[in-house]
Amino acid sequence: MFAIDEDLRFHLLSISVEGCRVGGLRVHRSGGESAFPRYSPGSCRFQCRRRIYQFHESCVTAHAIGGIPAKIQSCRYRQGSIAMTVIRRFAGILVHPAAVFVLAIAFAGVLRYLDKRGAYLPYTAAVTLTLAAIAYIASRRPIFSLYTAGAVTLLIGIASKVKFDLKGFALHYYDLVFTGGDTSALDFLVRNYGYILYIGLALIGVAVVLLAVVFTADRPRAPRLLWRVGLVPACVGLAILLFPKATPENQGFMPFIDGYNASAFYFSFADFDPMGRKVKLADHLKTDVGESLSGTADCGTGQKPDVMLVLSESQADPAIFPELGLPEDFRALFASDDGMVRPLSVEIFGGGTWATNFSVLTGLSPTDFSWQSHYVTELMENRIRGALPEMLAACGYRTVTIMPMFQQFVNEGDFLRSIGVQEVYDAAALGLAGVGNLTEDSTYYDFAEKLIAKHRATDGRPLFLAIQTMFAHGPYDAAPETRDAGSKPFSDDPQVDNYLRRVHAARLQIHRFLAERQAEPGPRGTVLLEYGDHQPIATKPLLEQRGDLRLADLTSPAYRTFLSIHAFETPVDKHLFDKPMATGFLAATLVEAAGLPSSPLMRSLADLREACGGKYHDCPQRELVDANLTMRANGGLLKLD
């Protein structure tokens, strides 16, 4: 800190002297050696010879015009911090044209890594330029605007990659509507994947700091506002021009299940529906089909056994992965009461349990909804008639669901009520503090045992009970703390081993529940159908290693789980379940095999199963599926407008 009390002269010059550019102002110390600071008019800060000086009081008492001297009285200043010097030099590097070019190349490389193919990248780049043009209107800083748009695109791409790796479905704009306003879903994500959220917030923080540094270094360039505004429609037009042409690879849900993570979110705005009510299933309806289907129940006169469904979270037939070398007694835990382990074809991978549950209860294919497949429980509330719970309720059944999540999660509670479930017992009803995979499945079975006992003692109606489990759900970072998990490792891979331990515990616990059903079949008998909803993310490396992670192909082993059928003091034709079938046929097959109350809709689904060889969305005679959907719509069983 020191003071200068001497005459200074200001001269209007547009030159650079000894590394000190003044932007038109040169400061000359009369009678001695010159000093040339970089001076910012209107402030008391300047830089010269790699040093930053800050005036402690206003020192400018006059403006220099044409070389007229100006008097500065006792101007005091101090040297700035080294950290600020480093930051400013770093900022100068970032805004240098060579650095911008290098980072643009790196940006393109990261986008190519995030996307499965490069064909979508020109469109993604055009959308990024559109964002940059919007930022340029307000900031007037071109380099800052480019960096801002690039950061947004990269952060969206990374988020999409994370979602795809966890759930098998890339980021879609509708996630902001479907999940953003769902506090239960957000709570689930924070509790189970909080570490990912924290990493994401850290990345956003780093991006904000870097952009702030670039903002200070990038000098405003101010062409007329009309020119700046005109860049936006030009970039939008370029994006429209580069939008990928429709092909089998990019129609409907394909970009979201096939690894186009850099472009999927931007691509999803092609599906934008301001009213949010256009149902993609309507695309399958045919105008030349005049017949209609009825969902009216034919209750019959025979016995009505208690019907129980168990959704076994994240479980699949171990025989799909022989490389794990699991013992035979492990696989035997997946068998029906006749000793057979039966295959089931699902349409999701890694997550989206509610989509499988939706398919089983309604007799519909989630994939037929295209990109809306993960949002069906919100989209289709009060739009479906004739579903299994509604049909059984019409025939005098008490219909109940036990679920590990809060019922508002993905709107599942309200959706289930809309298709005939009379009572929904969720995490709150079960007394669970929160949602997650820390609660053992025995919790749900114990609750079910009490409900069944009380029902049979006080209620004369037959019981339909659907139980959802949770213990085998990810993440698999920590070993499960339960004796049912076993003491010996199942795999050298910690993630796979923790997953298999959870499955082992879940299998032992459902077998104890089955033993109770054997001991207490009820006055009408009981039929129990168990099914795996999807494979977990833990099997992804195994599928990748052998080239079977073909998420665009419903015949991929990634979409195979299992089902088991158990009959207690009631006849069931188990052979109907021997052949692989899609989840959309499961309810109709159960109705047929157990002689349950039926309906024209259920019988038509059983006929469709035979005609399609158990396939639904990918039925070789797809026109039969579309005709069935059209007849359901004609009969008022589907409301798609």
Rounded Cα–Cα distance for residues 414 and 215 (Å): 48
127 has a pLDDT exceeding 50:
yes
Strand pairing report for 16-17 and 8-12: unpaired
Model pLDDT for residues 74-99, shown as the tens digit of each residue: 333 344 567 777 888 888 899 999 99
Q: What is the mean pLDDT of residues 339-345?
A: 96
Residue 638 and residue 383 in contact, taking contact as beta carbons nearer than 8 Å: yes
The residue type found at 412 is E
Which residues, 6 or more positions from 301, have their beta carbon under 8 angstroms from its beta carbon?
A: none
Using DSSP, state whether 19 is helix, strand or coil.
coil
Q: What is the mean pLDDT of residues 34-44?
A: 39
* pTM of the full structure: 0.78
What residues does 345 pair with on adjacent strands? 560, 582
Model pLDDT for residues 623-634, shown as the tens digit of each residue: 999 999 999 999
Q: For residue 77, give Cα distances in angstroms to 18, 28, 86.
A: 21, 17, 20
What residues does 75 pair with on adjacent strands? 4
Residue 188: per-residue pLDDT: 72
Which pLDDT band holds residue 126 (cuts at 50, 70, 90)?
Answer: very high
CA 514 to chain centre: 34
Residue 365 and residue 540 in contact, taking contact as beta carbons nearer than 8 Å: no
602 has a pLDDT exceeding 80:
yes
Rounded Cα–Cα distance for residues 166 and 189 (Å): 11
Q: Which residue has the tokens 């999409």?
A: 160
Rounded Cα–Cα distance for residues 543 and 182 (Å): 32
Q: For the chain, list the domains and their CATH numbers.
A: 82-271 (no CATH), 306-635 (3.40.720.10)
Strand pairing report for 306-312 and 463-468: parallel
Residue 277: per-residue pLDDT: 66
Residue 88 and residue 212 in contact, taking contact as beta carbons nearer than 8 Å: no
Q: What is the mean pLDDT of residues 286-303?
A: 90
Q: What is the mean pLDDT of residues 222-233?
A: 83
Which pLDDT band holds residue 437 (cuts at 50, 70, 90)?
Answer: low
40 has a pLDDT exceeding 60:
no
Q: Which residue has the tokens 């003491």?
A: 487
Q: Which of 364, 356, 381, 345 is nearest to 293 (CA)?
A: 364
Rounded Cα–Cα distance for residues 162 and 197 (Å): 10
Mean pLDDT of the chain: 84
